[in-house]
């Protein structure tokens, strides 16, 4: 990238930061090298493929900052007052696939709002702020992961199966595989059937003993627990077809926000657990209207954000030019609970890529 492009990007970033400051945000900084264990606990070992990791002889394993949200949340949960608005402007680093033309280092300018008073109103404030400072030629998309999560929580199945579906909800292929298996649409894996049959016939301890020497990292107790879990799972009744249909209908929503509300109300009779999430959705739309957003034309997708917004658990939004996501954001209440050492708070925010906004990435 040429120096004049970097200068233009920094200038645009400063302009965006000023807009966030004018909206009441306090500018905050973050270390570029973050403790790797925190990020690994959040995202698992998968993040090593996307982030730069190094070993410091004093500090231990460190990770170049892949985004600002985690350190901002940690800072707020340890010392911040409520409500609070923060903004930031700086580089993040992410590995790219071989041959990719995407930048490994780029600037993010972001805004985060911590306020438990009325989350739906806070969602509307953040979205309206981004809409105000971004150009009108961008395509706008919205979704609400909270509706899908509420539907999963209301399924007639075991806590373990609900937890598995929630954990994999941002992995569409795996999520649908689990839905098909739990719904009885796919046949059990043959090797797993044989394993369960042998465990029931001979007993788990006998099966483990006859399998030979342990070669992996799991202990005997862990293997025993896993086989026991598989036996319990195979005895689980299939998910009701009506509830499965509701999940599919939510994921397939692709319409305006107002139309989505109507369709969700129609689904509510088959899965009453989504009623609360629908009410939040309606409150948010009313708040958006007060900010001048035309909710009659606002695009909504039931699966929006499920492939790229891993820690979001509620309202999500994005502004695109073609296939490029210029800005994105959403609600991440659960993340504050994980990082808050027993405390949690409603939180929503978003980021803008000034290089993509300028078209000089």
Contact 79, 18 (CB under 8 A): no
Closest CA to 270 of 178, 154, 163: 154
- Residue 349 parent element (H or E): strand 347-352
CA torsion, ordered 35, 37, 42, 46, to nearest 10 deg: 100
Which is it for strands 315-321 and 53-56: parallel, antiparallel or unpaired?
unpaired
The two most distant CA atoms of the chain are separated, in Å, by 73
DSSP 162: H
Q: How many CA atoms lie within 13 A of 93 on its CB side?
A: 14
Q: What predicted TM-score, i.e. pTM, was given to this entire model? A: 0.86
What pLDDT is attached to residue 339? 86
Closest CA to 286 of 123, 99, 89, 97: 123
**Interatomic CA distance for residues 51 and 196, integer angstroms:** 39
DSSP 66: S
**Interatomic CA distance for residues 187 and 193, integer angstroms:** 10
Which is it for strands 33-35 and 105-114: parallel, antiparallel or unpaired?
unpaired
What pLDDT is attached to residue 185? 84
Q: Evaluate the CA torsion angle 306, 312, 316, 319 in order and state its sign.
A: negative
Compute CA distances 319 → 30, 75, 135, 352, 356, whole Å: 25, 28, 10, 9, 11
What pLDDT is attached to residue 1? 40
Closest CA to 252 of 96, 329, 147: 147
> Strands of 60-64's sheet, edge to edge?
33-35, 60-64, 53-56
Q: Mean pLDDT of successive 10-residue segments in the chain (361 residues)? A: 74 97 96 89 77 90 92 87 93 89 92 95 98 96 96 94 90 89 78 66 68 62 65 74 95 97 96 97 97 96 81 94 94 88 88 93 66
Structural domains for the chain: 1-116+345-361 (3.30.930.10), 120-156+240-331 (3.30.930.10), 157-234 (no CATH)
What pLDDT is attached to residue 191? 65
What pLDDT is attached to residue 3? 45
């Amino acid at each position: 990238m040429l120096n004049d492009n970097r200068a233009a990007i920094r200038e645009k970033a400063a302009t965006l930061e000023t807009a966030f400051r004018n909206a009441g945000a306090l500018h905050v900084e973050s270390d570029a090298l973050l403790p790797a264990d925190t990020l690994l606990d959040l995202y698992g070992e998968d993040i090593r493929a996307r982030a730069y990791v190094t070993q410091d002889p004093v500090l231990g394993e460190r990770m170049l900052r892949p985004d600002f949200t985690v350190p901002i949340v940690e800072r707020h949960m340890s010392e911040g007052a409520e409500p609070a608005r923060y903004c930031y402007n700086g580089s993040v680093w992410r590995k790219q696939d071989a041959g990719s033309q995407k930048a490994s280092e780029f600037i993010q300018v972001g805004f985060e709002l911590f306020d438990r008073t009325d989350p739906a109103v806070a969602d509307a404030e953040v979205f309206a702020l981004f809409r105000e400072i971004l150009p009108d030629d961008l395509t706008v998309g919205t979704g609400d992961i909270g509706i899908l999560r509420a539907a999963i929580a209301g399924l007639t199945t075991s806590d373990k199966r609900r937890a598995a579906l929630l954990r994999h909800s941002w992995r569409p292929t795996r999520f649908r595989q689990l839905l098909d298996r739990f719904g009885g649409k796919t046949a059990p894996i043959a090797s797993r059937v044989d394993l369960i049959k042998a465990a029931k016939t001979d007993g788990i301890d006998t099966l483990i003993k006859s399998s030979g020497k342990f070669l992996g990292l799991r202990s005997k107790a862990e293997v025993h627990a896993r086989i026991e879990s598989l036996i319990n799972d195979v005895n689980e009744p299939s998910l009701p077809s009506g509830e499965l249909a509701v999940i599919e209908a939510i994921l397939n929503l692709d319409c305006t926000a107002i139309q989505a509300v109507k369709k969700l109300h129609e689904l509510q009779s088959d899965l009453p657990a989504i009623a609360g999430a629908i009410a939040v959705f309606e409150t948010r739309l009313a708040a958006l209207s007060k900010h001048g957003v035309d909710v009659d034309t606002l695009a909504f997708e039931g699966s929006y954000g499920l492939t790229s917004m891993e820690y979001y658990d509620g309202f999500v939004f994005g502004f695109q030019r073609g296939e490029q996501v210029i800005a994105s954001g959403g609600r991440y209440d659960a993340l504050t609970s994980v990082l808050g050492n027993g405390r949690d708070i409603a939180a929503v925010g978003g980021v803008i890529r000034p290089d993509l906004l300028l078209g000089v990435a």
